[in-house]
Structure 1
Amino acid sequence: MTENAKRIGIVILLFILVTLTWGTTWMAMKIAVATIPPIFATGLRFLAASPLLLLFSWLTKTPLLFPKGSRLFQLLICLAYFAGPFTLMIYGESYVSSGLASIIFANMPVAVLIVSILLLKERISPTQLLGLVLGVVSLSTILYLESSQTSGTSWQGIAALLAAVIIHAIMYVQCKKRSQKISVLTFNTLPCLGAGFLLLLLGSWVEKIDSAMFSTSSLISVGYLGIVAGVFGILCYFALQQRASAFQASLVFLVFPIIALGVERMVSGTTISQASLWLILPLLLGILLTLTPISTIRTVLRLEPVRT
């Protein structure tokens, strides 16, 4: 096997692992929040992930603190990247199906593009603008259809999930603006640990916590979210970003909602409406267009091989 073939094989394997991890995360959140309050469940999730992150940081001699001058930003990541958005995500799944939640979060590239335009004054191509409009219109229509046709869908849950996407997009753009080359372990370990303790304390204070009511399936789901999604998924996606182009790695956002919808049908026997399923096609096309660099589009139009 040549080195190039081996590299392609590793990229494909990582892509599959990431999409499977992200695709199953949504059903795990749905099961977890069934018997564990959302704030407390998110705190448990982060504390489940923290020991492994600390171990990997120790084994690789990775610093836990951000460089001097960026420590306040590290605290902001703890609050606005981990504690807030992840709690909003699992809270939203109290009112929204896991499949619809995954579709909302798949629009992260669209949200990042919008925030980049507003905060960084970033210029975009006409193709990206078309993708942005197509994505927003398709998602808005899906949300309208699901809220009006499905009794289990609430605007309360939709609003929480949209807020999580927007906050994550803002934090992503802020990280991009600062252009800090920080290890994935440094970025995740202490903020994850801090968010875990903070949310457990907050959950114990504002939520009615009765551990006797926690089901085994909910506890297993929390463990899965922390260890598999929170550690394994993050490291696999980081490895994918190192070995593939940014465009190739971003294609994960087109695949994991499909897996989430399939998992939802297998586990609960339900899915979104037929009309919404058809609207996923223009939605994913819109996301793809926002992700596609103009250089790639020009190469394809000239029928030249894409260089990665």
Structure 2
Amino acid sequence: MNSAIKLLLFIIVALTWGTTWLAMKIAGTSIPPLFATGLRFLCAAPLLLIILKITNTPLLFPKGQRFFQAIISVFYFALPFTLMIYGERWVSSGLASVIFAMMPVAVLSASMILLREKTNTVQLLGLTLALVALISVLLRESQGAASGQLLGILMLVAAVVIHAVMYALCKKRCCQVSVLTFNALPCLMAGILLTLLGGLVEHPVITHFSTESLLAVVYLGAFAGVFGIMCYFLLQQRATAFQASTVFLVFPIIALSLENIVYGRSLTFGSLCLMCPLAVGIFLTLFGNQLNQRLKKAAHSSALSSSLESVNPQHRT
């Protein structure tokens, strides 16, 4: 029963994250990016606050961490999510999902630099392989493209880096709070900030908003922003960290498939071939610790066995 629940949660999270990129593309077709992202968070925040109230979860971070809570609202929510939707103005939703699938690699890199976390050869191999494969994909996809695509790629890469740095800073500050506390108030603050800023800078005309874009914003906020978060949190509770993280290997496939179905667009054949080494690199980054421990254990067992045989040789006939 537990395995069935884990599988169901994994499928829901993969589908949610895989469809998010197409939804952002649709939302940005008639709603200005800043305003759309603000509305997205304003759709999610009330639901998160209601769940927080029902579960008696604290609204604020512990004392001493509350200024950091405000920093999270800007640098974990407002800025990177705005960069994502801006980036998708020039970059396809499929390629955007591939870039964001590099999050485990970015987190490992940020942890190495900011936290001085130790890594092993397997993880470093995975990190190198994933980076080389991604750079190769980006170079292939940007050949002959408009200059705007390079700007979009840089925005999406910046969003990944900012998220990874914030994740490392949360670990450094021992920011152990509920997933609801982490998301609810920062989400509301980011929503208010971006909606006001978008209204002042972008001058949105509500009558120009298409039904599809509005539905995409509601989907991003109420469903992906709440249901997706809760399902991933439940998945992390029921599955191992590695099992939960493998969703990063699956959701780009969904995003690429959806883009092909809806828009008839796909990555070049060479880029699709590079998805294999990219996936292997991400896998090694995620599974590196466990694989390294198993290799050490196997080497230790082999050495012990050889030592015992040298002490107590067995004659075979």
Q: Same fold (TM over 0.5)?
A: yes
Aligned to 1:145: 140
Asked if 1:168 corresponds to 2:190, the answer is no
What is the identity, as a one-letter code, of the residue corresponding to 1:114? Answer: S
1:63 pairs with one of 33, 58, 72: 58
Report the alpha carbon displacement of residue 19 of structure 1 after superposing the two structures with TM: 0.2
Q: Is 1:27–2:58 an aligned residue pair?
A: no
The equivalent residue for 1:200 is 195
Gaps of 5+ in 2: 300-317
Q: Contact conserved, 1:147 with 1:155, CA < 8 A, in 2?
A: yes
TM-score by length of 2: 0.91
Return the offset for 1:152: 9.1
Deviations 1:233-284 (A, max 9, x none): 0000011111111111110100000010011111111111111111011001
Tell me, yes or no, if structure 1 residue 136 matches structure 2 residue 168. Answer: no
| Alpha-carbon distance in structure 2 between the residues aligned to 1:293 and 1:103 | 21
Give the TM-score normalised by the residue count of structure 1. 0.94
Match 2:245 to one of 230, 250, 269: 250
Letter in 2 for 1:103: V
Q: Does 1:212 align with 2:207?
A: yes
Partner-residue secondary structure (3-state), 1:63: coil
Q: Which moved more, 1:213-222 or 1:153-162?
A: 153-162
How far apart are residue 228 of structure 1 and its match?
Answer: 1.0
Structure 1 Cα separation of the partners of residues 188 and 162 of structure 2: 20
Task: Find 2:115's aligned residue among 109, 120, 133.
Answer: 120
User: What is residue 275 of structure 1 aligned with on the other side?
Assistant: 270
Runs of 4+ deviating beyond 6 Å? none
Q: CA deviation at 1:179?
A: 2.2
- In the alignment, is the contact (CA less than 8 A) between 2:94 and 2:259 conserved in 1? yes
- Identify which range, 114-123 or 228-237, moves more after superposition: 114-123
Q: Which amino acid aligns with 2:78?
A: A
Quote how far apart the aligned CAs of 1:195 are: 0.3
SS at 1:29's partner residue?
A: helix
- Distance of 2:117 and 2:106 partners within structure 1: 13
Mapped to 1, the partners of 2:146 and 2:281 lie a distance apart of: 28
Q: Which residue of the partner structure matches residue 306 of structure 1?
A: none
Give the letter for the 2:77 counterpart.
F
Deviation of 1:180 after TM superposition, in Å, equals: 2.5
Answer yes or no: is 1:17 the counterpart of 2:4: no
